[in-house]
Amino acid sequence: MRILVVDDDQRLCDTLKRGLVENSYAVDCVYDGEQGEIYGAEDLYDLIILDIMMPKKNGIEVCQNLRAKNIDTPILMLTAKDTVEDLVRGLDTGADDYLIKPFSFSELLARVRTLLRRLGQPRAIELKADDLTLNTVTREVCWQQKQINLTSKEYAILEYLMRQPNAVISRIMIEEHIWDDNFDSLSNLVDVYIRRLRQKIDPVRGKEIIETVRGAGYRLRVKSL
């Protein structure tokens, strides 16, 4: 899952990015509304976290403009103004949820998970592929109840593949959803992480679950969901 954070408070952005990355999200940060609208209009994101009070364009303008461009990415608005008028204005422009500063990171993380689940991004808390299970809340991955320990990026790639079982997923699709804007598309990191995933999952399964589709990408091959 890839998230765009738009806030002129760079310290807050850095804090949010660090916490979200630790929870297996890829995160891009921009620091004014104008850049936020440009990035958001690329439609590469699963969620946008958008502050209201920003230079160049405020969050309400950005939200309005994105919706006018038919960008339906879920938007979580941040504001320091605890007033009914701001809540109504934000929601009326097309925002999907609201969070008032200051807030705890655990609350923001819960809102992110709920928004994505409600709007059809993660469709279940527990994903299954044959006897392989992945819990999106606890981030536990098990094969026949035997836990498999994964790094943050390994987990994120596996979750992405498990949400689209038996579908061919290209390297570019994985890059765009798992890494942020600083990713070097010429690197072979996707292949490296796929190999690491196989090394951890295949020995306990006894066979390969992630297939290479030559010239196209990868496929999580499952018999039952």
Instruction: From first to last of the 225 residues of the chain, give the pLDDT tens digit.
Output: 789 999 999 999 999 998 998 888 888 899 999 999 999 998 778 899 999 889 899 999 999 999 998 888 899 999 876 666 766 777 788 888 888 888 999 999 988 988 887 655 444 577 888 888 888 778 888 887 788 898 888 888 898 888 888 888 888 888 877 776 666 666 788 888 888 888 888 765 556 788 888 888 898 888 765
* Angle between the N-to-C axes of helices 105-118 and 10-22, in degrees from 0 to 180, rounded to the nearest 10: 60
What separation in angstroms does the CA of 77 have from each of 4, 139, 158, 188, 211?
A: 12, 26, 29, 36, 40
Question: pTM higher than 0.75, yes or no?
Answer: no
Best CA proximity match to 162, nearest among 197, 127, 125: 127
Question: What is the CATH number assigned to the segment(s) 126-220?
Answer: 1.10.10.10
CATH entry, 2-118, from 3.40.50.1820, 3.40.50.2300, 3.90.1150.200, 3.30.420.40: 3.40.50.2300
Q: Where in the chain is the domain with CATH 3.40.50.2300?
A: 2-118
pLDDT of residue 6: 96
pLDDT tens-digit series, residues 53-108: 898 999 999 999 999 988 888 999 998 766 667 667 777 888 888 888 889 999 99
Residue whose token pair is 């204005």? 89
What separation in angstroms does the CA of 122 have from each of 76, 94, 168, 182?
A: 16, 21, 19, 25
